[in-house]
């Protein structure tokens, strides 16, 4: 009986020891599966299981930032931090959305001891006042990692690094690889160099060093980006995908519009207001725009077949050129929209070059004046054509050669007709609009699909009285109007807003032509 009791106690001890062993194994297994931290720091605070879901509560953090341990992805969306350091999280990805920044004064903005990737469609500014902005170092002392540390920047993001050094590695350890793949990197290091001490440097996805011109990566001596003279670059280095420039076939103020500048048309000298081009629809939209050109066309459609100029709001084009029109078409085009365009040119308001055609439709309003021609073809033998369809309102004058002249064809469609001068028509023989006597019209031509209220009054009862005396213009207006004064070449000299009643206006030198409002034109006596 005593023997059996001892055997039972022995069995209990064995079971207890076995259970303790199993629990110990499970405990340490759980500990092994859940690390103390994830191997990186934000603003000096180590990120681990206890705080990775509350990164935004760390002092110095703002915006949206989150970490997913399973994918090793740190997401930043319009976030602002003081520093990021990746010590041991091999393959961690920083994914960018919106505009993000890591700025510090005394620390490294971004440092890594293991390979890291920066990607996404956003931007990241890494800046340090007294240290390198980005350090790609070797493995941390005591780390088991034996691989070279590489920073990969891809996915179309933009990374900017500004510090004593912009982006740097350490030639004495296993760090320093930089891969830029289809992304933009801008680096400035005013003291030690912009991109320096890298063991490897690789450009993919069509990327190249764009700035400074002639800069290259010196893999033999400095392991840095150097200029054309072999000196380490300390000014801004720009690396970006080099896209083949596509010419869209038209120019504004003499500047060809291409795939590289079409989104910045408003920055062209002489252009104000909204001028937007859509390459997919081939529509150039003017909305409250002003274009002033000297020696060039305001807009020149060189070879953009069927390009559309769409008018919104009130727009103005002034061109001083003896050979170009305010808008010049060397291939077929169209003017449309619901806005207005005041077009003034020394030579011709609209000029058609080569055998081409222009269609004007919509409900737009065009007031066109030229020192020589209002609207003109290049050569009547080329049979250029203008078709005016439906609702547009055109007021055209060309002082020297004709208001609408040297055209092969003028088509008036869907009710459009010439209202002024009365009984004017297009003559195929003279390739111009002529008056009732068959003479080429050089005064205002009014074209619309409805009879304007001003047509009868302008033709038979001029609504203003004007004369000049000793350098002044004396005139009487029945209502509030704007007075435009041009020289003999059709160049606008000045404009004045006037109320109803009598006025005395000082005339600028070379004054020759008056336009009151947008329907009365007369030469000064």
Mean pLDDT of 44-65: 95
- Residue 281 CB partners (closer than 8 Å, separation 6+): 308
Task: Name the residue with higher pLDDT: 138 or 257.
Answer: 257
Strands, E assignment, 87-145: 92-97, 99-104, 110-112, 116-120, 123-128, 134-136
Q: What sign for the dihedral angle of Cα 175, 179, 184, 189?
A: positive
Categorise residue 214: left if φ over 0, alpha if ψ from -120 to 50, beta otherwise.
Answer: left
CA distance 88 to 96: 21
Tokens at residue 233, please?
């670059």
Kindly state the tokens that stand for 478.
């029945």
Angle at 12 between CA 10 and CA 18, to 5 degrees: 105
The rounded distance, in Å, linking the Cα atoms of 267 and 269 is: 6
Distance, in Å, from the CA atom of 509 to the CA atom of 494, rounded to the nearest integer, reads 11
Percent of the chain predicted with pLDDT > 90: 66
- Residue 147 tokens read as 């691989």
Which tokens belong to 378? 């290049």
Please state, in angstroms and rounded to a whole number, the distance separating the CA atoms of residues 80 and 71. Answer: 22
Structure tokens of 504? 């005395």
Query: Distance (Å, rounded) from C-alpha 67 to C-alpha 75?
Result: 6
∠ CA 396-400-405, nearest 5°, is 55
398 class by beta-carbon count within 10 Å (0-12 exposed, 13-18 middle, 19+ buried): buried
Residue partners of 55: CB distance under 8 A and separation at least 6: 42, 47, 61, 65, 66, 67
Q: What is the pLDDT of residue 7?
A: 59
CB atoms inside a 10 Å sphere around CB 376: 29
Residue, of 282 and 141, whose pLDDT is higher = 282
- Checking if the pLDDT of 493 tops 60, the result is yes
- Distance (Å, whole) CA 235 – CA 132: 14
Q: What is the pLDDT of residue 525?
A: 47
Q: Is the pLDDT of residue 140 over 60?
A: no
User: In the predicted model, is pLDDT for residue 481 greater than 50?
Assistant: yes
SS3 at position 52: helix
Give 130-186 as a 3 state SS string: CCCCEEECCCCCCCCCCCCCEEEEECCCEEEEEEEEEEEECCCCCCCEEEEECCEEE
The pLDDT mean for the chain works out to 86
C-beta of residue 462 within 8 angstroms of C-beta of residue 476: no
Question: What is the spatial distance between Cα 154 and Cα 144, in angstroms, rounded to a whole number?
Answer: 27
Q: What is the mean pLDDT of residues 398-414?
A: 92
How many Cβ atoms from other residues are within 10 Å of residue 33's Cβ? 7
429-438 pLDDT, tens digit per residue, is 999 999 999 9
End-to-end CA gap in the chain: 145
Residues 6+ apart with CB under 8 A from 365: 339, 340, 341, 392, 393, 394
pLDDT band at 130 (very low <50, low <70, confident <90, very high): very high
Between 407 and 22, whose confidence is greater?
407
pLDDT exceeds cutoff 70 at 105: yes
Cα separation of 428 and 420, whole Å? 19
pLDDT digits (tens, 9 = 90+) for 421-477: 888 999 989 999 999 999 999 999 999 987 665 433 333 235 667 777 777 887 788
Would you place residue 354 in the very low, low, confident or very high pLDDT band (cuts 50, 70, 90)? confident
């Amino acid at each position: 009986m005593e023997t059996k009791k001892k055997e039972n106690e022995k069995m209990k001890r064995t079971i207890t020891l076995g259970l303790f062993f199993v629990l110990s194994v499970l405990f340490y297994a759980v500990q092994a599966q859940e690390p103390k931290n994830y191997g990186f720091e934000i603003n000096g605070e180590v990120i681990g299981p206890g705080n990775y879901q509350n990164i935004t509560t760390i002092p110095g953090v703002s915006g949206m930032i989150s970490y997913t341990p399973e994918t090793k992805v740190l997401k930043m969306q319009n976030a602002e931090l003081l520093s990021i350091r990746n010590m041991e999280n091999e393959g961690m990805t920083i994914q960018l959305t919106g505009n993000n920044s890591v700025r510090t004064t005394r620390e490294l903005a971004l440092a890594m001891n293991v390979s890291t990737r920066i990607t996404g469609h956003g931007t990241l500014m890494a800046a340090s006042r007294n240290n390198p902005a980005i350090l790609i170092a070797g493995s941390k002392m005591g780390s088991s990692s034996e691989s070279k540390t590489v920073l990969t920047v891809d996915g179309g993001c933009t990374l900017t690094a500004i510090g004593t050094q912009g982006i740097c590695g350490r030639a004495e350890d296993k760090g320093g690889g930089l891969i830029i793949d289809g992304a933009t990197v801008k680096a400035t290091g005013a003291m030690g160099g912009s991109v320096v001490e890298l063991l490897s440097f690789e450009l993919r996805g069509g990327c190249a060093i764009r700035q400074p011109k002639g800069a290259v990566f010196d893999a033999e001596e400095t392991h840095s980006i150097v200029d054309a003279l072999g000196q380490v670059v300390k000014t801004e280095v720009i690396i970006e995908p080099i896209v083949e420039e596509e010419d869209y076939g038209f120019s504004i103020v003499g500047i060809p519009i291409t795939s590289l500048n079409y989104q910045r048309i408003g920055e062209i000298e002489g252009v104000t207001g909204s001028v937007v081009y859509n390459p997919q629809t081939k529509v150039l939209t003017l909305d409250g725009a002003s274009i002033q050109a000297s020696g060039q066309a305001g807009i020149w459609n060189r070879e953009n077949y069927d390009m559309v100029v769409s008018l919104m709001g009130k727009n103005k084009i002034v061109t001083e050129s003896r050979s170009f029109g305010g808008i010049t078409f060397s291939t077929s085009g169209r003017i449309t929209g619901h806005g207005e365009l005041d077009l003034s040119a020394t030579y011709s308001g609209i000029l058609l070059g080569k055998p081409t055609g222009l269609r004007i439709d919509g409900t737009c309003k065009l007031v066109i004046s030229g020192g020589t021609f209002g609207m003109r073809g290049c050569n009547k033998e080329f049979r250029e054509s203008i078709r005016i369809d439906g609702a547009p309102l055109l007021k055209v004058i060309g002082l020297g050669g004709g208001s609408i002249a040297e055209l092969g064809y003028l088509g008036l469609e869907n009710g459009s007709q010439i209202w002024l001068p009365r009984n004017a028509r297009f003559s195929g023989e003279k390739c111009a609009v002529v008056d009732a006597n068959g003479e080429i019209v050089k005064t205002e031509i009014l074209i619309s699909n409805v009879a304007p209220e001003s047509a009868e009054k302008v033709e038979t009862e001029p609504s203003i009285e004007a004369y000049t005396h000793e350098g002044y213009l004396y005139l009487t207006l029945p209502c509030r109007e704007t007075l435009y004064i041009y020289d003999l070449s059709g160049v606008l000299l000045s404009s004045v807003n006037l109320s109803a009643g009598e006025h005395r206006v000082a005339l600028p030198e070379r004054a020759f032509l008056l336009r009151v409002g947008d329907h009365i034109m007369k030469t000064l006596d």
